[in-house]
Structure 1
Amino acid sequence: MRRYLLELKLFWANRFNRWLLIAYFVAALAAIVMGNNAYKHELSLVAMAEDDYQQSLLDYRDKHDAGELKPGYMGYYLFHPVAQTPSVWTTLFRGERDESPSHLRVRLLGLQTQLNASDPVNADTLLSGQFDLAFVWLFLMPLLIAAMGVNVLADEKSSGRWSMLLSQVAQGRTIINRKLAMPALILAAVNIMILALAVVLTDLHLSWALVGVTVLVLLYQLCWWLICRWIVMLDRSASFNYLAFLSIWLFFSFVIPGLSYLYQVKQQKPGADAAIVFEQRQYMNDSWDRDKYADFADFLERFPTWSDTAPLGDEFDWRWYYAMQHMSDVVVADHVQQRVASKKASYEQGVLFSWFSPVMSLQYGLNRLADADTTAYLNFIEQVSDYHRQLEDFLWSFLFFNKPFEKIDFEHMPDFSYESDPKPWMDATLLKLLLIMGVFVALNLNSVRRAAWW
């Protein structure tokens, strides 16, 4: 125990180590604060959209009292807000939320155009991404581990102390293990403190999910310490050690994710979303020049729920207009299904690549926990589609059956409420990290056997 306390004093006496830990802690704290601000801002946007929506409903109530309300016009002009309500975990892990639109306003027109013609965020922010705690853990923590531990042996040899230290123990690896264990324990304590601060500063609460995150982060940290220890046991120069660690870090952080991204892009069809929008709009535009009676009859045959309605007259009829808007979604339905299937397949391919990188493994797990991945976006789009159908059923019941819209019917207007996808996130991530750690445990054991003096 006395020797470990001595190692602690030696480690903390190094000004470089102290400043590295302070900088790491400050970066993590800044990420938490910035992530909390982004989370609160998103919630405020959702609240503002809902307030604006309620004000619009009040205006339509006033028109109803004045006898000026027409359900057909309300369906066209009333925008209904839908939002992928952020999980509290997005405070720490933004994931893919900024890559797809999570706040929309829909009305009773062709849905696919409304979904695919929306920009997610300012394109400039996508270049650099969001600075969150996941970035600090995934990319900065391994570099901190390298700076604190990858040259413990090289530094002792260059200073001339190694021969003296080696004469005091039976095995040299005892010294290495002690020198690596101390910064590892300190870093683990710092990471636990960071999570504790996140609970204090944000809306996070003590839960089993928090325990799971703590376990995964500590395992991820241990994985990089095993990599560091393996490089140390190769017994090379300081420059070689740094180059070896950086090469492994680049391979896990950029090469494998880059290959995954290129492979996924290759499977995608460029311009698929734009093609859906174009085809849908083209159908709706052409419908003005076609026989509206024949088109409306075809719609009623496809959807017999609305067939018990009066024939169309010669004047413009909202029933025909909304029927054709709905049919414009029907004609692109196959393309939409192919796009969804393609996105799911692309995501699954990324999951397969994550088995070969601790960075991707933890990233996919944290994104799933925060409900901020491709699965969450597709779930959101599916719920928006269901909500759009509810709006159609609600307003069409007045238009198609000539039913009067009463003031009390405003209370029956469908509301959108996002429900997150409860898919598991812990088990697969834990297994991936343990398997990757097993590889480096084996490499460490092999290094011990190869060097007799260890």
Structure 2
Amino acid sequence: MNRLTFELRLVLRSRLSAAALLLLLLLSVLAVWSGMREVQRQRQTIERLAPLHERDVAALAARYPDSKDAGNPAYYTFYNTWDPPSGAAFLALGLRDVAPYVLRIRALGLQAQLYEGETFNPEVALPGRFDYAFVLIYLAPLFTIALLHDLVSAERQSGRLRLLLAMPDAGRLWRRRVGLRYALLFACLAVPACVGAALSASGIAATIVVLAVTAACLAFWTGLSLLVATRQWRSVTNATVLMGAWAMLTLVLPALANVALIRAIPVNQGVDLMLAQRQAVHGAWEIPRAETMRRFVAGHPEWKHQADVPGRFHWKWYFAFHQVGDESVAGAARAYRDGLVARQAWTGRLGWLLPGVGAQAVLHRLAGTDLPAQLAYQDAIVAFHREIRHFYYSYLFNDRPFGSADFARRPAFVPHAAAGMPGGTELFALFLLAGAVFAAGVWRLGRLRMHGGE
């Protein structure tokens, strides 16, 4: 314990090391606080919209107290859907920064409503959110490099290296120094994350996974720093090489891999589906009504006996061609979704080689802010929209009146579970990569000789 205390004093006596640890702690606290604040803001938005929605429905019920059919109520009534953030969402906000977490829909064509949230300003979305995942993946490696790049070279340049290597417990000395720096870095990241998890009620299992991912990321960069620091190079050279490795592994290679995925798996934007669906809907005004109803009945035979429409405008024909417009782009919608899922699968495979990508995938899955979570929200919207349509179809196709009491029978949205534990494959890949690099670095440290090198 006395030797460990002495090493701690040496670390804290170094202005660079002390400032680096303090700054990392402050950044971690700020990231956790920022993530929790954003999650709280989203929850408040969801809670604030609920009474406003009920007020709109009440006004609509007063406007149409006794309708001959459900056409006007079906056309004007909006339904709230929402994707509540999980307890661990503050760690990695992911797609919640750009994808809508609240969406109002009607009984009209869904595709045109589903992808309206993609029309955001890309310059606003470009910087991303400052959350715990950002600090862990992009900033923590820099602090690891700052504390370990001169572990050996500083002793060599000061003339103390031969003396240290000649000590009987030289091996334990180096391991103690590395372990202490690793523990200090881990504490600066883990303590704010644990406090945030406790305040957010994330759960013990989620907290353990976050700590494990944090430990794995630090282990990778510690091992890589040791592989470079034990070379017979000067401190400046070590820092330069490690900074180059950081830029390649966290910035350049992920960006190149993303470009390769975009070219290998081309995917149209959701806005293209929205435009295609709207074109089909607008074109239905020029198509004979009998043809539209024939297409509708082909997919919904339960209404074939009520599909006749008079010569004048009828609401069931109007909603039928909206449904046909959705079905006309169903193949493109499946292809769009399949392309996104394929890209996500290959991104997960990149985590076997790039620790930042692997850690990000695990944290986003844990927080319920990744692509599968967003697709699950869309699935919940699709199922709810189907329930809304069936609710109004029973009135429209049976020519039943729609009164004030029927507003109270309207469907209610039930949100899906946002978070989910990451798969064992992603965690295993991250631990395997980090463990291999860390073990190589420790083995390299143990091979130091009297000349302080190979």
Report TM bin, short chain.
over 0.9
Give the drift of 1:197. 2.4
Q: Secondary structure at the match of 2:352?
A: helix
Classify 1:188/1:450 alpha carbon distance in 2 versus 1 (closer, same or farther; 3 Å): closer
Partners of 2:104 and 2:87 in 1: CA distance: 23
Deviates more, 1:385-394 or 1:214-223: 214-223
Q: CA deviation at 1:227?
A: 1.4
Confirm or deny that 1:440 pairs with 2:431.
no
Kindly indicate whether residue 328 of structure 2 is the aligned counterpart of residue 326 of structure 1: no
Q: TM-score, normalised by structure 2?
A: 0.93
Tell me the equivalent position of 1:280: 277
SS at match of 2:81: strand
CA contact (8 A) 2:68 2:400 kept: no
Q: Deviations 1:204-231 (Å, cap 9, x if unpaired)?
A: 3442211221122112212211112221
Instruction: Call closer, same or farther: CA 1:29–1:121 in 2, change over 3 Å.
Output: farther
Which consecutive residues of structure 1, in runs of 5 or more, have no partner in the other structure?
Answer: none
Residue 46 of structure 2 aligns with which residue? 46
Residues 412-451 of structure 1 aligned to structure 2 (within 5 Å): 412-420=409-417, 424-425=421-422, 427-441=424-438, 443-444=440-441, 447=444
Report the secondary structure of 2:84's partner residue. coil
Q: Which residue of 1 aligns with 2:19?
A: 19
Q: How far 1:409 sits from its partner (Å)? A: 2.6
Which of 195, 198, 203 is the matching residue for 1:197?
195
Residue 342 of structure 1, aligned match among 323, 336, 339: 339
Verify the 8 A CA contact 2:70 2:401 in the aligned structure 1: no
Q: CA deviation at 1:442?
A: 5.4
Give matches, 1:171-182, under 5 Å.
171=170, 173-182=171-180
- Residues of 1 paired with 2:71 and 2:265: CA distance? 39
How has the CA–CA distance of structure 1 residues 44 and 357 changed in structure 2, closer, same or farther, with 3 Å as cutoff? same
Structure 2 letter corresponding to 1:60: L
1:253 is displaced (CA, Å) by 0.8
What is the one-letter code of the residue matched to 2:189? Answer: N
Partner of 2:253: 256
- Partner of residue 94, structure 2: 95
Code of the residue aligned with 2:180 in structure 1: it is M
Identity %: 23
Q: Which residue of 1 aligns with 2:84?
A: 85
How far apart are residue 255 of structure 1 and its match? 2.7
- Greater relative contact order: 1 or 2 (C-alpha under 8 angstroms, separation 6 or more)? 2
Q: Measure how far apart 1:438 and its partner are.
A: 3.9
Deviations 1:341-376 (A, max 9, x none): 101001001011111011111110000011111111
Contact 2:292 2:324 in 1 (8 A): no
Describe how 1:198-347 pairs up with structure 2 within 5 A: 198-199=196-197, 202-269=199-266, 271-309=268-306, 311-347=308-344
- Structure 1 residues 121 and 35, CA gap change in structure 2 (3 angstroms): farther
Is contact 2:11-2:17 (8 Å) kept? yes
1:113-153 Cα shifts (integer Å, max 9, x gaps): 11123346543331211000111111111111111111011
> Could you say what secondary structure the match of 2:89 adopts?
helix
Q: Give the TM-score normalised by structure 1.
A: 0.93
- Preserved contact between residue 60 and residue 69 of structure 1 (Cα < 8 Å): no
Q: Does the aligned pair in 1 maintain the 2:144–2:222 contact within 8 Å?
A: yes
Deviation at 1:327, TM superposition (A): 0.1
Cα offset, 1:281, TM superposition: 1.9
Corresponding residue for residue 355 of structure 2: 358
Name the SS for the 1:81 alignment partner.
strand
Q: Is the 8 A contact 2:83 2:418 kept in 1?
A: no
Shift of 1:102: 2.5
Secondary structure of 1:91 counterpart: coil
Q: Which moved more, 1:70-79 or 1:265-274?
A: 265-274
- Asked if the contact 2:352–2:429 (Cα under 8 Å) also holds between the matched residues in 1, the reply is yes
2:408 alignment partner, SS class: helix
1:58-73 alignment, distance < 5 Å: 58-65=58-65, 67=66, 71-73=70-72
CA displacement, residues 362-401 of structure 1 (integer Å, 9 cap, x when unaligned): 1100000111111111111111111111100001111111
The letter for the 1-side match of 2:187 is A
